[in-house]
Amino acid sequence: MTTTRTSETSTATDGLVGTAGNRFADAVASRRRAPGGTARGAAGRLARLVLNLRRHPGTVLAVVWLVLVLVATLAPGLFTGQDPIDGVPADKLTGPSAAHWFGTDQLGRDLFARVVYGSALTLQAALIAVGIGLLVGSLLGLLAGFIGRWVDDVIMRISDVLLSIPALLLSLALITVLGFGTVNVAIAVGLGSVAAVSRIMRSEVIRVRNAVYVEAALASGNRWSRVLFRHVLPNSAGPVMVLAALEFGTAILAISALSFLGYGAQPPAPEWGSLVSTGRNFLTTAWWLTTLPGIVIALTVLAANALSRALDSDERRSR
Amino acid sequence: MSDVTAPAPGTPVLDIDGLAVQYRTAAGTIDAVRDVSLTIGRGERVAIVGESGSGKSTTAHAIVQLLAKQAGIVRGSIRFNGTDLVGAGRKDLRAVRGRRIGLVPQDPTVSLNPVKRIGTQVAEVLVIHGLADRKNAEIAAIEALRRAGLPEPELRAAQYPHELSGGMRQRVLIAIAIIGGPDLIIADEPTSALDVTVQRQILDHIDELAAETGMSVLLITHDLGIAADRADRIVVMSEGTVVEQGTPAEVLGAPTHPYTRALIAAAPSLNAAGDVDRALEPLADEIRARVFGGAPGDPFSVLDRPVAATGFDKHAADVLVLRNLVKDFPGPRGAGTGVNRAVADVSFSVPRGQTFALVGESGSGKTTTARLALRLDDTTSGQVLFDGRDITAARGRELRELRRRIQLVHQNPYASLNPRLTIAQIITDPLTAHGLGSGADRKGRAAELVDVVALPATVLGRRPAELSGGQRQRVAIARALAVNPELLVLDEPVSALDVSIQAQILGLLASLQRSLGLSYLFISHDLAVVRQIAHRVGVMRLGELVEVGAVTDVFRSPRHVYTRALLDAIPGRGSRVSPSVSHSHHTRSGVQP
């Protein structure tokens, strides 16, 4: 925390102009408040959120889709009465119909049921992956940005190395070490995103670390650990949360890709990536086996990206 | 075109009638300017005075039709040399801007194109208006820079903006404004970003140029002192309307509008020494005993519990003593082993229960000195004594112990409060940091402190963004008081605030000092403010303390030539207000900003 502050001395007068905009905003706010009541506080924030959502119907659709997927994870029975594992061999490879919305596969299993039940495995893996990436990445970024010096150097050089390896290749290498299985795939994908998260976190922490309120917290007598977790972390977490939503989409793709390659869920367990993978063998005769699960994956990734963008613009506005 | 350039004799340069400007925002329209009428005669210097949001800058920008996109003129006319500029075509406006009306913008640090040479930027005006070819324009630019008072104009013309100081850049902007030979110069807070001595030179120069060329000047300022010194006529604006106008003598001598009276009373530069509103009642004994009755640094201690021995002597005559303090910063990279001496051999002491003010311009080392006293930076050599104990090398537990006795209030209340926390959390933060009291104790104390700094209890649950600047600075003061400190370091605590709010905060600080016996180390660039609040003053220049003494002595008979220059540069010294005006209409400082 010993930054040289040679430019510090010139802030005295710079501040005058720097805060002119703030003072103006105060004046505007006080004049706006004068006639009608106050539209602030929790109710005002909620009203603003609803207003924003109405202006961005895409975000609403994305959130609705993600909620549906989440519900499918927790209670797949709500969406389909069919069994995802046991099929009726007589009905094998029938196209989409009223009885089987997504058609059936080569064993006569209902594809819609398999997609619905498969969301649990895929989403679980994606959440684990994002969780690991977020937790480890944030912690490393926080330490690198806040402590600086050699800690920063060591962590950032390691992340340089990680960033220089393609993410999928890195995940493949990790799976080779950890072994097959959905959870291992998730861990591998999560570790692959640590470097990117720590980078973002570090840059945010460096920005916040020099904020006046952080110095005020130190001058108040806070221990550095408390400054870090109470004052620096909450103010630098915003962009990382945006990245997390984005990573969630990427993680679903990566997990599906690894399952597609056969490293993830083992048959007969349904998983989005492996559904696409097995459907590939029947591509010429049964297009729905690859296309429909593929569309579900694509929509979920798009929804996560839309949510990320909405969070990002909100984050920008609140600065 | 021809009617713009050849006005009928006798018409005023500028005649604004019933101007109204609205801003359209997501939450509805705001009347930035409601009904402004003013006239500027040929060669006249008019100053518009008002606080943030009064509509003074909007008026200035409306004249040259450079309003923000969401703003629109809804009513009124702006006659320049007899021609109405409202609704004028782009071509006519272009012929006026830069050529007939020169604009000097507010912030010299951002108003120049960083990738173009100074000379080219100044010459651009002539080239655009077809008044000269590029080569002759460059020659004229050098002449204009010379007239704007820039030394070595040939050299400067070949330089880029970042190579010039703030004062020099402001002179470049003045050169751009005058090169076209305008009839009117609009100067929008031309010096509020500059040090007081530079401010004086710039304003002097604008005056000389106006006298020399006979052009009119419209000066926009928040500082009544500057307006009184520089203008033939003062126009006072508040909430988008003109509340009063007249000669400086009329406006300052016999103000008719209550807002003008409040503004005069609040302006530090117009009032005599010690004139901060000390009439504010001190805290009631009952509140003082309840809120500040605990031991220093331990507000929840009760009398039957012995206070831990800390090694601090709270009866030492001076709370803080600095001895031969030196601070070196490493020089810029690549400059060899050179160091940058920010503080050079500074010694002074802060007497108990009094205010020691450290004054100086940017780069004088006053903020660095404060940081050394707070132990936020390590000293290169010298000694810092607090309550008679050497704290120069304090660290770890000892340093945290110290933080319970010295607290800091920052300059900019817009930046010094954590935006994610509620006001209650912000005020109790130092208590939580030191593990003082239970959750309920702290909550109760936050409520009491908010009351002490005259904020309503409803702010406790809000976040900083929902408060105005003055309210935020009160929160910062409440936070600093939470641990019952003995010494407050106030780093330019009012310079980010409007003048009437400045007066309220200074009044609050004075009242707290009287009630609680607090000692202040007050950092400021504004001598007028220092005169109001300080008992002793030290003047810093280039890292050295050039003069120390009692405020009355220093102000009455400054010994150092630099102190004298600083004192002379205070605006409004020539125009004292009659005491009856400044005293009888004080705004009560405890009232909400």
What is the rounded end-to-end Cα distance, in angstroms, of chain A?
A: 24
Q: How far apart are CA B520 and CA B498, in angstroms?
A: 22
Domain-embedded: residue B493: yes
3-state helix, strand, coil in chain A (%, to 5): 75, 0, 25
- Look at residue A43 and give its three-state secondary structure: helix
**Token couple for B244:** 């009063």
pLDDT band per the 50, 70, 90 thresholds, residue B332: low
Is the separation of the CB atoms in B149 and B164 below 8 Å? no
For residue range B455-493, list pLDDT tens digits in order: 888 888 888 888 878 888 889 989 998 888 888 999 888
Q: By C-alpha distance, which of B549, B491, B551 is closest to B524? A: B491
pLDDT band per the 50, 70, 90 thresholds, residue B114: confident
C-alpha radius of gyration, chain B, whole number: 26
**Confidence (pLDDT) at B521:** 92
Do B156 and B292 lie in one domain? The reply is no
C-alpha radius of gyration, chain A, whole number: 25
- CATH code (residue B382): 3.40.50.300
Do B327 and B465 lie in one domain? The reply is yes
Q: Do A219 and B429 touch (CB under 8 A)?
A: no
Domain-embedded: residue B18: no
pLDDT above 50 (res B364) = yes
Q: Do A30 and B53 touch (CB under 8 A)?
A: yes
Boundary (domain end) residue, out of B159, B181, B203:
B181
Give the minimum alpha-carbon distance from B412 to chain A in angstroms, rounded to a whole number. Answer: 7
Is the separation of the CB atoms in B85 and B65 below 8 Å? yes
Do B372 and B506 lie in one domain? The reply is yes
Enumerate helices (H) and strands (E) in chain B, giving the number of each. Answer: 22, 20
Q: Do B429 and A29 touch (CB under 8 A)?
A: no
Do B168 and B311 lie in one domain? The reply is no
Average pLDDT along chain A, 319 residues, taken 10 residues at a time: 34 46 70 48 61 76 90 85 79 81 84 88 89 92 88 91 88 88 88 90 90 89 87 87 85 84 80 83 86 89 85 69
Strand order in the sheet with B389-390: B339-351, B318-330, B381-386, B389-390
- What string of DSSP letters covers A181-245? SHHHHHHHHHHHTHHHHHHHHHHHHHHHHTSHHHHHHHHTT--HHHIIIIIIHHHHHHHHHHHHH
| Domain residue limits at A282 | 41-80+101-318
Q: By C-alpha distance, which of A279, A252, A285, A251 is closest to A267? A: A279
**Confidence (pLDDT) at A153:** 92
pLDDT band per the 50, 70, 90 thresholds, residue B386: confident
- CATH code (residue A303): 1.10.3720.10
Q: How far apart are CA B282 and CA B286, in angstroms?
A: 11
Boundary (domain end) residue, out of B157, B181, B205:
B181
Q: How far apart are CA B588 and CA B590, in angstroms?
A: 6
Q: Is A179 left (phi over 0), alpha (psi -120 to 50) or beta?
A: left
Find the mean pLDDT for residues B104-115: 82
Residue A7, chain B, CB below 8 Å: the answer is no
Helix axis angle for A111-147 and A57-74, nearest 10°, is 110
Residue carrying structure tokens 């990279």? B333
Domain-embedded: residue B542: yes
Domain-embedded: residue A89: no
Residue A26, chain B, CB below 8 Å: the answer is yes
Count CB atoms within 10 A of the CB of residue B391.
22
**Confidence (pLDDT) at A255:** 86
Count CB atoms within 10 A of the CB of residue B258.
13
**Confidence (pLDDT) at A130:** 92
Domain-embedded: residue A90: no
pLDDT above 90 as % of chain B: 4
Kindly tell me the burial class for residue B214, based on how many C-beta atoms sit within 10 Å of its own C-beta (0-12, 13-18, 19 or more): exposed
Taking one residue from A and the other from B, the number of pairs with CB-CB distance under 8 angstroms is 163
* Bridge partners, residue B488, by sequence: B407, B520
Is the separation of the CB atoms in B392 and B379 below 8 Å? yes
Q: How far apart are CA B420 and CA B560, in angstroms?
A: 47
Domain-embedded: residue A20: no
Residues 220-279 on B with a CB inside 8 Å of A are 239
Going by the DSSP 8-state scheme, the letter that residue B461 receives in this structure is G
pLDDT band per the 50, 70, 90 thresholds, residue B70: confident
Q: How far apart are CA A240 and CA A200, in angstroms?
A: 7
**Token couple for A285:** 């005769």
Domain-embedded: residue B238: no
Q: Do A23 and B374 touch (CB under 8 A)?
A: no
Q: Do A226 and B53 touch (CB under 8 A)?
A: no
**Confidence (pLDDT) at A319:** 57
Q: How far apart are CA B11 and CA B36, in angstroms?
A: 19
The closest CB to that of A13, out of B362, B410, B483, belongs to: B362
Predicted complex: ipTM over 0.85: no
Boundary (domain end) residue, out of B123, B155, B181:
B181
**Confidence (pLDDT) at A134:** 92
- Look at residue B381 and give its three-state secondary structure: strand
Domain-embedded: residue B589: no
| Domain residue limits at B120 | 115-181
- Look at residue B237 and give its three-state secondary structure: strand
Domain-embedded: residue A207: yes
What is the rounded end-to-end Cα distance, in angstroms, of chain B?
A: 48
Domain-embedded: residue B127: yes
Q: By C-alpha distance, which of B153, B211, B143, B154 is closest to B180? A: B143
Domains contained in chain A, number: 1
**Confidence (pLDDT) at A39:** 44
Q: How far apart are CA B228 and CA B246, in angstroms?
A: 11
**Confidence (pLDDT) at A15:** 43
Q: How far apart are CA A239 and CA B335, in angstroms?
A: 37
Whether the upstream peptide bond of residue A268 has omega within 30° of 0, thus cis, is yes
The closest CB to that of A212, out of B23, B407, B416, belongs to: B416
> Looking at beta carbons, which residues of chain B come within 8 Å of A5?
329, 368, 371, 377
Residue carrying structure tokens 């409007």? B498
For residue range B148-182, list pLDDT tens digits in order: 888 888 888 888 888 887 778 888 888 888 888 88
Domain-embedded: residue A45: yes
**Confidence (pLDDT) at B584:** 37
**More confident site: B42 or B274:** B42
The closest CB to that of A235, out of B54, B340, B420, belongs to: B420
Distances (CA, A) of B190 to B38, B116, B173, B518: 21, 22, 9, 37
Domains contained in chain B, number: 2
Residues 17-56 on B with a CB inside 8 Å of A are 23, 27-28, 30-31, 51-54
pLDDT above 70 as % of chain B: 85
Q: Do A215 and B194 touch (CB under 8 A)?
A: no
* Bridge partners, residue B541, by sequence: B544
pLDDT above 50 (res B512) = yes
Q: Do A4 and B329 touch (CB under 8 A)?
A: yes
